[in-house]
A and B are shown apart, each in its own frame.
Chain A
């Protein structure tokens, strides 16, 4: 046997180790949104608890979070206190009440506090579908010109904010590029 050939199994093994170790740090649930870099899809949805409605253009002007939530969603309750904290620190958060009962949603905000600048009601989830929502909670970042910059699936906490969301709220994006 040639000396080089002898090390072939070892090389194959090492390659496998590298691939598997890489695999350990991959999160298959982390799907980038298909809407990244696109304007927020058009919508015309009623504001929760009011008789007015909002369109996508109404949410332009400054970077903001869009938080997809529902009263049936347990993790939404978990992230709620942190959203309140963010709102107190001046972060604009729009709520998207997703496939929920608006009555219950109003009670929820009365009980737990309201971190949202305003919440729109997407009762049948059609706007959610346009946005690519596949569950709750999900949180999107839009910039000043209404372009979707980031999506986070799951609970927003301090770590997620610092690592993924906060960068979009520093001066850079407030100027807003055009589409």
Chain B
């Protein structure tokens, strides 16, 4: 009897955790597109969650819309456009390129160029200072460096 109660309790607690509803899809392809879209769309209310993770009522509504439109045959682009029309670029975790997001998109490239520039100048500087011609010389230098070190 206790065992039954316990197992029931465990069952119920699992139920209460499963707050995010599940949808039936007519094809596995739609289901995987649904998963991808709901990961990529951002909840306008709880701003650091995507709509797949969020329990906010608005996220539930948006998931319902995504499901409904997928089943109705809409493309991913159409669904995203539908939501961007209503909630702005903000709903996308991968915003499109415009004047606002120019820096966002170009920052990685700019940073990469800066990093390469720093590395190149550093290497040049090292070369000017000292030229290591062979492995033998390198080994000698290391030996000199660590000679007399107790460890």
B57→A99 contact, CB < 8 A: yes
Q: Which residues of B contact A (CB under 8 A)?
A: 44-45, 47, 56-58, 61, 65, 84-88, 90
Known: A29-B47, A134-B56; 4 extra A-B contacts, CB below 8 A, are: A34-B84, A34-B87, A35-B86, A134-B87
B87→A132 contact, CB < 8 A: yes
Binding stretch for chain B, among A83-91, A106-114, A123-131, A163-171:
A123-131
B45→A135 contact, CB < 8 A: yes
Q: Considering only CB atoms, which chain A residue lies closest to B43 in the complex?
A: A134
B58→A134 contact, CB < 8 A: yes
B45→A129 contact, CB < 8 A: no
Q: Considering only CB atoms, which chain B residue lies closest to A72 in the complex?
A: B57
A34→B88 contact, CB < 8 A: yes
Q: Is A9 an interface residue (CB 8 A)?
A: no
A31 to B91 CA separation, bound complex (whole angstroms): 11
For B84, list chain A residues within 8 Å (CB). 34
B88→A130 contact, CB < 8 A: no
Scan A30-74; emit 1 where CB is below 8 A from any B CB, else 0.
011111000000000000000000000000000000000000000
A132→B88 contact, CB < 8 A: yes
Please report whether the interface of chain B is mostly helix, strand, loop or mixed according to DSSP: helix
Please report whether the interface of chain A is mostly helix, strand, loop or mixed according to DSSP: loop
With A34-B84, A134-B58 already in contact, the answer to whether A129 and B47 are too (CB < 8 A) is no
10 closest cross-chain pairs (CB), A and B: A34-B88, A134-B44, A134-B58, A132-B86, A134-B45, A132-B87, A135-B45, A31-B90, A34-B87, A34-B86
A129 to B45 CA separation, bound complex (whole angstroms): 13
B58→A130 contact, CB < 8 A: no
Q: Is A3 an interface residue (CB 8 A)?
A: no
A134 to B56 CA separation, bound complex (whole angstroms): 9
A38 to B47 CA separation, bound complex (whole angstroms): 25
Q: State which residues 1-49 of A face B: CB under 8 Å.
A: 28-29, 31-35
A132 to B58 CA separation, bound complex (whole angstroms): 10
With A31-B44, A135-B45 already in contact, the answer to whether A125 and B61 are too (CB < 8 A) is yes
A91 to B65 CA separation, bound complex (whole angstroms): 35
Q: Considering only CB atoms, which chain B residue lies closest to A41 in the complex?
A: B86
For A129, list chain B residues within 8 Å (CB). 61, 65, 86
Q: Considering only CB atoms, which chain A residue lies closest to B47 in the complex?
A: A28
For A135, list chain B residues within 8 Å (CB). 45, 56-58
For A133, list chain B residues within 8 Å (CB). 58
For A34, list chain B residues within 8 Å (CB). 84-88
Q: In angstroms, how far is the closest chain A Cβ from the Cβ of B13?
A: 26
Q: In angstroms, how far is the closest chain A Cβ from the Cβ of B100?
A: 11
A129 to B79 CA separation, bound complex (whole angstroms): 13
For A130, list chain B residues within 8 Å (CB). 86
Partner of B88, one of A28, A29, A32, A99: A32
Most buried by A among B44, B47, B56, B65: B44
